[in-house]
Chain A
């Protein structure tokens, strides 16, 4: 399977714990995005990278969230001191941006439940 992969697919954690998610984009894609989706809502943009550079971060993203893409390939999203409101599906997407935009391919997501 050469699509976007995410690990783990499900994560249950207790409030206050830290969690880290991984995303492996399609290999030749230069852009990588993180979104969050709650039940009945559309995906909400969190941040995106072009190669290893983090170019934009949502103002909605608290300081407890951090993302990295150290070698311009896979990315990690860490949430520190999780809260119940962090429970959501975390989606990763990648694209090959040419001429300003590229079709975004989404991964299967990581479902986070904070108890």
Chain B
């Protein structure tokens, strides 16, 4: 089955700094989804990317899907305390294979 790796595992940033998490697969993906899980909470869907080289933005969040559809990234500009949580990428349609996640903590 497909596997997705995420780096870094943890990221501590000062409030206002940028944050990026990367998702990599050894196989070509049909799509990639991103989820956010707040501490003590459940995963919440953020976005799905389908097309090669696709870039989507949601306010301060920018999502990219690689040209080869084997990697993806999530970039947050000017982090805020509300961005705290673990960000997961996930591959698949019905059966989602989640990455290991990047846990973001923010120093006020």
Q: A residues touching B (Cβ–Cβ < 8 Å)?
A: 31, 33, 35, 40-45, 48, 55-56, 58, 91, 93, 97, 100-101, 103-109
Contacts and interface: CB of A to CB of B under 8 A. Distances in A.
Contacts of A31: 94
Nearest to A59: B1
Contacts, number: 48
Contacts of B98: 42-44
B97 A104 contact: no
B100 A56 contact: no
A43 B101 CA distance: 10
Contacts of A106: 42-44
Contact of B43 (A41, A44, A91, A101): A91
Contacts of B93: 100-101
A45 B3 CA distance: 12
Given A42-B98, A45-B97, 4 more contacts: A42-B101, A55-B94, A91-B43, A101-B94
Interface in B43-99: 43-45, 48, 88, 90, 93-99
With a 10 A CB-CB cut-off, give which of B43, B45, B97 has the most chain A CB atoms: B43
A10 B97 CA distance: 25
B31 interface: yes
Given A48-B94, A56-B94, A108 B48 contact: no
Contacts of B90: 42
Nearest to B94: A48
Nearest to B31: A101
A90 to B, nearest CB: 11
A104 B42 contact: no
Nearest to B1: A59
A104 B48 contact: no
